């Protein structure tokens, strides 16, 4: 069991890093690019991206990260690695509340509502829809990016605190 802590810790950091990178990419490029295009194109593209993200590559990073962090926390606690256990627990909580829950309660409902739009509408109507959608979606995406970035930092600190003390 002691030999599992380091690999699980590394996997936890990798997993939260993957989801942080996913959210971060939307912040610094994807949405800004969509905001610069015809709103009908933006709506169609966002609909396609939202539909495509439900896949077996995205699933482990998004859905398994909180469980992986929690398991790593428990394993660290069982090995009396209290600081690491606390940091992994904080990482799991921050990701769970600030990214996972925000996604489920805000971003997914916004995406589901956008999915119902027929993008073959006139440009003015599409622009109104996109302007109602994009800024709100981006604010909440920034929240989940910051939360998952903070969770990554906490998981990295937890991994670092596993380092044995040298005298």
| Residue 8: how many other CB atoms lie within 10 Å | 19
Q: How far apart are CA 100 and CA 92, in angstroms?
A: 10
* Stated pTM of the model: 0.93
pLDDT at 163: 82
Does residue 147 contact residue 91 with C-beta atoms inside 8 Å? Answer: no
- Report yes or no on 167 lying in a domain: no
Which two three-digit tokens encode residue 92?
Answer: 């799991």
Task: Give yes or no for residue 164 having a pLDDT over 80.
Answer: no
118-136 residue pLDDT tens: 989 999 999 999 999 999 9
pLDDT value of position 45: 97
pLDDT digits (tens, 9 = 90+) for 4-43: 999 999 999 999 999 999 999 999 999 999 999 999 999 9
Domain that holds residue 138: 2-160
* H-state helical runs in the chain: 2-25, 31-35, 39-52, 58-59, 65-78, 82-95, 101-102, 108-115, 123-160
Stretch 146-166: mean pLDDT:
92
Total of domains in the chain: 1
The b/e string for 43-66 (b: 16+ C-beta within 10 A; e otherwise) is: bbebbeebeeeeeeeeeebbeebb
pLDDT score, position 165: 60
For residue 23, tell me if it sits in a domain: yes
Give pLDDT, residue 128: 97
pLDDT score, position 2: 74
Percent residues over pLDDT 70 in the chain:
98
| pLDDT > 60? residue 167 | no
Average pLDDT, the chain: 95
| C-alpha to C-alpha distance for 55 and 36, rounded to whole angstroms | 27
**Is 18 contained in some domain?**
yes
**Domain assignment present for 22:** yes
């Amino acid at each position: 069991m002691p030999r599992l802590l380091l690999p699980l810790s590394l996997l936890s950091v990798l997993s939260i890093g993957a989801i942080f990178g996913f959210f971060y990419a939307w912040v610094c490029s994807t949405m800004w690019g969509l905001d610069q295009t015809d709103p009908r194109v933006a709506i169609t593209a966002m609909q396609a991206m939202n539909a495509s993200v439900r896949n077996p590559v995205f699933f482990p990073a998004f859905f398994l990260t909180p469980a992986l962090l929690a398991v790593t926390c428990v394993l660290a606690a069982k090995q009396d690695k209290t600081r690491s256990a606390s940091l992994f627990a904080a990482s799991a909580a921050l990701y769970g509340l600030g990214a996972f829950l925000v996604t489920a309660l805000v971003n997914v409902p916004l995406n589901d509502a956008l999915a119902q739009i027929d993008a073959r509408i006139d440009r003015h109507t599409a622009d109104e829809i996109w302007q109602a959608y994009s800024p709100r979606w981006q604010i909440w995406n920034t929240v989940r990016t910051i939360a998952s970035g903070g969770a990554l930092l906490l998981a990295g600190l937890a991994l670092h605190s596993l380092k044995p003390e040298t005298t």
